[in-house]
Amino acid sequence: MDRRNFIRKAGYAAAATPALAAPAIAQSQPQIKWRMTSSFPKTLETLWGSAERFSQFVSEATDGNFQIQIFPAGEIAPALEAANEVGKGSIEMCQTASYYYWGKDPTFAFGTAVPFGLNARQQNAWMYFGGALDLMNAFYAAHNLIAFPAGNTGAQMGGWFRKEINSVEDLKGLKFRIAGFGGAVISKLGVVPQQLAGADVYPALEKGTIDATEFVGPADDEKLGLYKVAKYYYYPGWWEGGAMLHHMVNLDKWNELPKPYQAILKAGCANANVTMLAEYDQRNPGALKRLVAAGAILRPFPQDVMTACFAAANESYAEISAKNANFKTIYESMAAFRADAFLWQQVSEATFDNFMMAQQRKKQL
């Protein structure tokens, strides 16, 4: 008799005894196997590693009874179709960035990051305590999804440029690989957003088919070697001042889940949320130093470029709000939160950080 059969028979035998105890146990710790598709490849180690930690935690917390098998982008669903497949129910859950679904409805963008939106800490505060997670989940429910914050990259870099950007004029006609909301905003200033598969970016930059590409930040960008073909490394990525990842779950599957497993899944997401950002914060400084040593040239976007992009973003917010009620509601919630958050940040946080950054520049740390 193999072990599996043996356990099953034990179960049947137990079921012959009075029925109250066994179901209580069965209900709280049933054996469940789920699949989680990621929008990211294994090569993006911090993102993929977070999915691995999550899956391992859920298994450990349930003594192996709730197993979530994880798949990198493309194995069971294309990267940018992850949430769509989960909504349909063909896959139980995914690790994704909600702004990938911006084309479906721009409201999706608020889950991850919007141009000149919130930084990573503010996004957490707005999501967990500013009402945003409830607003977003009410919106996601129409797509048969429920989402939980599950990571953040921090403020991303602006990307890799073949030429310096010295003024708004230099943006005109610039072929920049940038997707979604950021691409829509910057196109108002004459940029021509490009869509290109990851593997095609390096040769396209080398040949000059495109002029620039955005990606993530030093830790992830380092592997692409883009500094060899586009040495100007611009910052900040104002279209994602704190890009939040989510785990999205099919709403029916979520509702069927025993309460203890729901609690465990949510806590696994919270753990992913805090640890992913921490891992990026640990990995980015070393990667940045190596990139600069290898020839990358750091450049902030000029102030007039930032100001023009900010104005263009505000134009976009007004335009989309005029025709999309969900977007308007959530934008207004974000904007109100943002004004207070950046007021408060100027007091103790920024003053402490500025003093410490000044000491770093003076080599006093």
254-283 binders of a copy of itself (CB under 8 A) = 258-260, 263-264, 266-268, 270-271, 273-275, 277-279, 281-283
Structure-block tokens of residue 21:
């105890």
Strand segments, DSSP code E, in the chain are 32-38, 66-71, 93-96, 145-152, 159-161, 175-177, 192-194, 212-213, 232-235, 244-250, 297-300
* Three-class secondary structure of residue 190 per DSSP: coil
Residue (195 or 348) nearer to a copy of itself, CB: 348
What angle do helix axes 259-293 and 45-61 make, rounded to 10 degrees? 150
Does 4 sit near a copy of itself (CB under 8 A)? no
Q: Please report, as residue ranges, which positions from 98 to 137 form the binding site for a copy of itself (by CB under 8 A).
A: 116, 119-122, 124-130
Residue (39 or 124) nearer to a copy of itself, CB: 124
Query: What's the closest the beta carbon of residue 223 comes to a copy of itself, in angstroms?
Result: 18
Q: Please report, as residue ranges, which positions from 26 to 45 form the binding site for a copy of itself (by CB under 8 A).
A: 27-29
Contact between residue 232 and residue 163 where contact means Cβ atoms under 8 Å apart: yes
Contact between residue 236 and residue 157 where contact means Cβ atoms under 8 Å apart: yes
Does 300 sit near a copy of itself (CB under 8 A)? yes
Q: What CA–CA distance (Å, rounded) separates 116 from 124?
A: 16
Does 13 sit near a copy of itself (CB under 8 A)? yes
Q: What CA–CA distance (Å, rounded) separates 38 from 122?
A: 25
Query: What's the closest the beta carbon of residue 104 comes to a copy of itself, in angstroms?
Result: 27
DSSP single-letter state for residue 91: S
Candidates 85-93, 160-168, 221-229, 236-244 — which segment interacts with a copy of itself by CB under 8 A?
A: 236-244
Candidates 68-76, 78-86, 89-97, 356-364 — which segment interacts with a copy of itself by CB under 8 A?
A: 356-364
**What would the x/- binding string for a copy of itself be over residues 42 to 61, using CB under 8 A?**
---------------x--xx
